[in-house]
Amino acid sequence: MANIYLLRHGKVDGEAALYGHTDVPVAQATNEKINQDFAAFCQRKNITIDHMVTSPLIRCLSLAQLIASSRLLAAPKAIDAIKEMNFGQYDGVPFDALHQQPEHWQVLEKFWQDPVQQSLPEAELLTGFSYRVSHAWQQLVEQARQLEQNTLVVCHGGVIRMILAHVLNVDFRNPLWYTQLSIGNGSLTTIEVKENDTRVKHIAKPLDGFSTASEQVA
């Protein structure tokens, strides 16, 4: 048996926006706080991490590198397939700016209500995003299972939601799965990998002492 820990990156330095493939940094102090809280969590729960992977986007990679160097682990492998969804034309555009242009804001509102049918301009389709994340997830599970390795995955809110939908067989086209389920910055979701199945132990447990400020979809 092994566990896979899904750690969401810290709050990014930037205005509230859909951050998908846009590369935005996280303050060093925020990464250090998450790293400390994660270390304390591992110590208290007697958890060892054998293997680390990360999204290549800087908001994840910078945290993953910090955790790896603190724990004297090998450099985390960056996996393109666990990048956040690409939000196309609206990726990284502040909500405030979009809100001032009703024709764009309406498109965004329709997307929230039905993210499968009402895709954003030039954005990745939700079905394609689901496929790439599920495929990457299956490979991570197989590796964790075969090597019995506890794996830390530093990634994104959308990626964690998609993995949860996959593990729990929840319909990923359900809009409430995106708007009503909060995956906080710096939160940790634990998934137990057994011989024949996977089980969600905790969803979105923010690391102790790390309180999330306002939520962003990234």
What is the Cα–Cα distance from 210 to 30, expressed in whole angstroms? Answer: 9
User: Hey, is 105 helix, strand or coil?
Assistant: helix
CA 31, 213, 119, 90 torsion: positive or negative?
negative
Closest separation between CB of residue 78 and its own copies, Å? 28
For its own copies, the closer of residues 55 and 187 by Cβ is 187
Residue 123 CB, nearest distance to its own copies (Å)? 23
Of residues 40 and 97, the one with the C-beta less far from its own copies: 40
Where helices occur in 116-175 by DSSP H, the ranges are 126-147, 157-168
- Using CB under 8 A, list all residues that contact its own copies: 44-45, 167-171, 174, 176-177, 179-182, 184, 187, 192, 197-206, 208-209, 211
Give the span between the Cα atoms of 75 and 170, in whole angstroms: 33
Residue with smaller CB distance to its own copies, 70 or 211: 211
Q: Is 37:210 a contact under the CB 8 Å cutoff? A: yes
**Of 135 and 205, which CB lies nearer to its own copies in the complex structure?**
205
Least CB distance to its own copies at residue 44 (A):
8
CB of 208: closest distance to its own copies in angstroms? 6
CB–CB of 24/14 below 8 Å? Answer: yes
